[in-house]
Structure 1
Amino acid sequence: MVLKGKRSLRNIFIRYFIYFSLLTAGLFLFYIILYGVMLNKGILLPANYLEQKIESNRNTILEADIVTKDMIPEGCGYGVYTETGKMLTGNFTSKEADTYWAAMQANQNVAWGTKYYKVFNRNNETCIVSYKLIGQFSNPLLKKYFGNAELWIGILFLFIFIGEILLLSAKFGRYFSKEIKTLMNVSEKIRAQDLDFETVHSDIREIEEVIGSLDQMKIALKGSLEKQWDMERSRKNQISALAHDINTPLTIIKGNAELINEVCQDESQLKYNTYIVNSSREIEHYLKVLMDMTKSEELLVLKPAKIETKMFLQKLLEQEKALASEKNLELMNEIETVSEFFYADKELLYRAIINVIANAVEHSEKNSKLLLKVSESETVLQFLIADSGRGFSKEALKSATEQFYREDKSRNSKNHYGIGLSITKSFIELHHGTVELSNSIELGGAQVVLKLPLLENKYIS
């Protein structure tokens, strides 16, 4: 698919390469012009300046009775030798004196690295003057600290060249990052299943093609998800309707079976009728579990708000008292000093705690104890519920929060499904909290600790 008006990556790279080439050529031109202007203005001395000065003093050096320092241009070295190579006068070091004499004897052009020399044959003696072929600044101060002017101008050129590279790299990086970010935003929204966003576009052809493909995928995914959500809603409605339909004949069966128990005198018949009553109650329990599952899926949308702690705990304790009254449990409620307010989803949190309390009541013996302890640290609000039952087994400590977990599959009782703890775990994790299972040292039964992070505001990321 060809997208008109869009630039390909190839063209973009070529464009930036042309920019780079033009800027580099301009930099070289600037270097040449700068060098020429400095020469014309006398700011910079040419590389052969010392050589010319030495030649202009040739006759003076040859005809003078004695060669003195003032005859030698500033910046040059010299030495006056006998015919046997012994230096009589000059500012050469002994090592330099030997080196220049040996270079002259061997007819070499360069005697000391980058230093050149000229020879003046006088009566019975030879004068050697050394110099460098480098550009120098005419200003004495600049000449002192920046002897090799060409080197420093070259360093300046190098810094400007590096700056050019960094400038173009930053410009290209910002441009390309902006286009890539557009692509990333699209993919991130699709990943989060936010499929109602308006499609954005890119100036780069290849990225625009990818965005186009993602847009097609978004449309297809949206249709698929909507179909899935419709099927899921239909399934939940069917389950709810079926549970309601089953509950009607079940109520009739249970009511008649209980009535027979009240009036029947035949022990054999009473025995089988009791099975019917118990089985009816089990079916009621299964229906309740089924309804809880569908409701829990619908409620898994967090709506945090500011909660008044005192009112929330009062409602919690009242419901705990109602649940515990069936088995005449002794309630051990310990409420430590907690904040006046906290942020959470009130309904989900309340239901999570009540599920744990209901499980604790169910697994407690009559006339035993039930503990509810509420405490707070700097970052966590904690609810601890413990019963006096038989506690968690090793297997249950690992799996009790799994949906439909039953601790002992061999038991006749079918009321050990972990739907309550499973729902509780889902609700608490929505708050970024944790559920910890253990056995209570104090009461000997199961212990569940719900830890809820304290938020500074109602928003949970």
Structure 2
Amino acid sequence: MGGWIQMGKIGIVERLPLKKQFILTFVWIMLLSVICSVITIGIGLFWLSRSTWIQPANTYENQLPEIAEYVRSQHSTIMNPESRADLEKRIPAEGIRYQVVDMDGKPIYGTLPGQQIQGREVLIDKLNKTVSADASLGFGGRFLKIVPVTTEEGDWEGAILFQYKLEVSGKSGSGFNWVNLACILIFVVSPFLYIAIFTYLFAAKFGRRMAKPVHELIEASQRIRDQDLDFTVSYKADNELGLLTESFENMRSALKSSLLREWKLEQERRDMMDAIAHDFRTPMTIIQGNVELLADVPDMKRDKAEAHLKVIEDNIQRVNRLIQDVQVASEKDMEYFPLRGVKVSLTDFLEDKEREIGYICGSHGAEYSFHFEDLSPSVGQTVFMDVQRVSQVLDNLFSNSFRYMPSPGGWLGVRVQRQDTTLQFEICDNGSGFRDEDIPHLFGKFYRGEKGQSGLGLYTAKILAEKHGGSIHANNRREGGACMVFTIRTDGPAPNHVDI
């Protein structure tokens, strides 16, 4: 499995920090709510003004001139209560109330209760005028228009008071309340309604923007849970979610690299164990064959029996060495190897190693050469090193050479050179040499070459050389065979020296 976890095209707003996205969303909600509220109120007012069932505020005021003309045409007969029926036919009862009064302002009849004018002088002062009766009510309040009543000769007999309101109302006369309520709903409720609508719409869109990376992260975590790390999270944004996805991607990449290393190491361990298992079979087969031979020939001559026992002993040592290699590789970090550096005589050490090389080559039917070159004789013959660890390096290199040199006809060359505080060992043989593609990996911990051998011995040699402040490398001889060269420092504890 593999691929990209795509999140689609990322817009400009989506790249902004979450705080800015919240602020921008709020601004858009309020701005659109205000614009839509203004448009709604304007349309509502326009519709109300054009409506046929809505009466303007001055509807009843405009009817008063016609009613006043009728009053004047009736002269003093209008003062008679018997004229009430004819008068009320011309006065809209739902919008205008009236009262017929004498010259002292005392009511004679009408729909307006109580005495409205207190005295003749007040009445005379307000004749033919429109005065405010109560400006605190409604939009325009109540108004009082006073029309004088005269005889046919023109003598003043009294007056008629007309009370009306300046406000919008329904034609039925009783529709003012619900019309007023409708206007209030339009003016007051619509802004909140638009805020609620746009909040829902923008919140849903904001939620979808947030949901995309969150869902992708959930999908990515599920794929990791299923041990699938071969994907890439592609969401990129300069905000908190972008940082979260970037951190998640970095974690996925690091986890993938770590698991790949772990899987590779596990595979290398299995391959190494397969190789060592093969190495185990060879000495165990030899041991078993010699034991069976000794058992089958109980009267074998002593010298032959001792030869067989020597073969068994050598192979038991090989098995023990393989066991030690496995223990070191599996139970401890191979970089552990502590050093016990001491001052030793370089001459004595090299004489001992030359004797050992002669014995080993003799047992393998191989020839050898040993040369020492001192380029700094004034330094003295005392050096500082861990004799056992340096011998362990040499033993690993010797073993590697003997494994691939011909027998008989093998040859091992050892050349030691000292310069100042550096000691260099060069071990060459006339074996099959190394394949070019194997040379860079020879000193790997679990490297296995074409012939199946484990690389633990050479890896151990590399670690010990480095702990002595030196290095090791390998190459092939022009004449055929291989060469191993390693150097150590002999002037005191190396940087990685551990004295225990």
Q: TM-score, normalised by structure 2?
A: 0.36
Q: TM-score, normalised by structure 1?
A: 0.38
Flag the structure with larger Rg: 2
